[in-house]
Amino acid sequence: MTEVPEHLLARSRARRAALTGEGGDEAPTAAVEPAAAATPAAADETPAASTPAVTAAAAPAAVEPTPPWVEAANKRKKIPFWAVPVLAFLPLWGVIYALTLDPPTAKNSPITLGNEVYAGKGCSGCHGAAGGGNGNIPALIGDTAVTKVWPTPAKQVAWIALGSDGWKKAGQTTMENGLPVKGGMPGWANSLDPEELMSVVLHERVTQNGEEFDYAKWEQDFAATMEEFVPDQAAAYEKVLEEWKTTPPT
């Protein structure tokens, strides 16, 4: 058996100790120290980047939903800036426009109806378009104004309904102001209905003579006068006056 020299054995033990980190009492100190010194150096050479950095991901902030009314307001078309002064001026313009209008007149108001009947059914042909009279036919204005001859509207309604002949047949020889009845006035009770006849009276008193409609004045002796002179149509005449009470003629 060949004997291995001692220095080869010592070198083998030193190399084994360096590789395995093990060593015996027989290992030379110098041989072990280099291996031990090499361990910190190897640790220092380890890259810092080899240790992964763990960074916690930040949670996204919660976004609050937009209320539907806010979203609708944002989508709604805005008024152009030039329209603001125009809109602000509209109320003033409306007042100015209203003040420039003529007072409204109802198309079928009693006064309008009276004017139409007076002009279209023979009254104006005798008494004149404005009530100024015609020849021997007396005027309805001035000294012989109907408001002077017939202070009570009810008596004028009865006079026009009967005419001069019917007035005499009813036992009347004078008009309400005392003037004698001469004749020539036709009766209109069979030609005009109560509303038309009363509207003519209203036209002659209000439009031609400037008298304001006064229900209390018209109501004076109205029912009794109608019952006396036109009993068959008294209720119809009273109904017209009752309507005028509810809606005064304009």
Average pLDDT for the chain: 82
Note the pLDDT of residue 68. Answer: 81
Domains and CATH numbers, the chain: 1-35 (no CATH), 110-246 (1.10.760.10)
Q: Rounded distance, CA 9 to CA 27, Å?
A: 10
End-to-end CA distance of the chain: 157
Rounded to an integer, the average pLDDT of 233-237 is 97
Residues 86-137: tens digit of each pLDDT: 777 788 877 787 777 655 455 679 999 999 999 999 899 999 999 999 888 9
Residue 154: other Cβ atoms inside 10 A = 25
Rounded to whole angstroms, the Cα distance separating 245 from 219 reads 9
Position 1 pLDDT exceeds 70: no
Helix axes 222-229, 234-246, angle to 10 degrees: 160
Residue 16 has what pLDDT?
78
**Residue environment code for 206-241, b if the CB has 16+ CB neighbours within 10 A, otherwise e:** bbbbebebeeeebbeebeebbeebbeeebeebbebb
Report which of residues 106 and 207 the model is more confident about. Answer: 207
Q: What is the pLDDT of residues 153-196, one digit of tens each?
A: 999 999 999 999 999 999 999 999 999 998 889 999 999 999 99
pTM: 0.59
Residue 241 has pLDDT above 90, yes or no: yes
Residue 231 has pLDDT above 70, yes or no: yes
- Residue 75 — pLDDT band, cuts 50, 70, 90? confident
Give, as one character, the DSSP assignment of residue 69. H
Residues 180, 184, 190, 194, CA torsion sign:
negative
Half-sphere exposure of 184 (CA within 13 A, CB side): 10
For 134, list phi and psi in degrees, rounded to 5.
Answer: -155, 105
In the chain, helix, strand, coil percent, each to 5?
A: 55, 0, 40
Average pLDDT over residues 11-20: 76
Q: Give the integer Cα–Cα distance in Å for 175 and 155.
A: 9
